[in-house]
Structure 1
């Protein structure tokens, strides 16, 4: 199964942010449940403000139990 182009572009953006040291881990709240989430974000600037672009959150528990690798 091919990875959709939009996901590939987001991953490339994430790699560039990591290469330049522009990543942050933020404690946020899940919009639907209010549960704390620890979110990986790319950090950018917009004039004098920082802009955090969320890419995903760290998995609670054992991530090996949550995913099935491709066959």
Structure 2
């Protein structure tokens, strides 16, 4: 399975922000549930204003329980 171009571009933006020291961890509320989320943001400037671009939130609990590696047969499994 190939990573889409938009995801690669966002990841590159995130790497550049990290290299420049322009990352922030913000406490936010989930728009759908209202639950507290800790969101990784790139920080930019617009004149005197700061701009925060969210990239994702940290996993709750043990991230090893939240994700599994992709399967080589993922497209076959999702069809069933």
TM-score, length-scaled by structure 2: 0.86
User: How many matched pairs?
Assistant: 71
Of residues 61-70 and 8-17 in structure 1, the stretch that sits farther from structure 2 once superposed is 61-70
In 2, Cα distance between equivalents of 1:57 and 1:67: 14
Gap runs ≥5 in structure 2: 72-80
TM-score after normalising by structure 1? 0.97
- Pick the structure with more strand per residue: 1
Larger radius of gyration: 2
Structure with greater helix percent: 2
Deviations 1:30-60 (A, max 9, x none): 0111110000000000111000000000010
Q: RMSD between aligned alpha carbons? A: 0.6
Structure 1 runs of 4+ with >6 Å offset: none
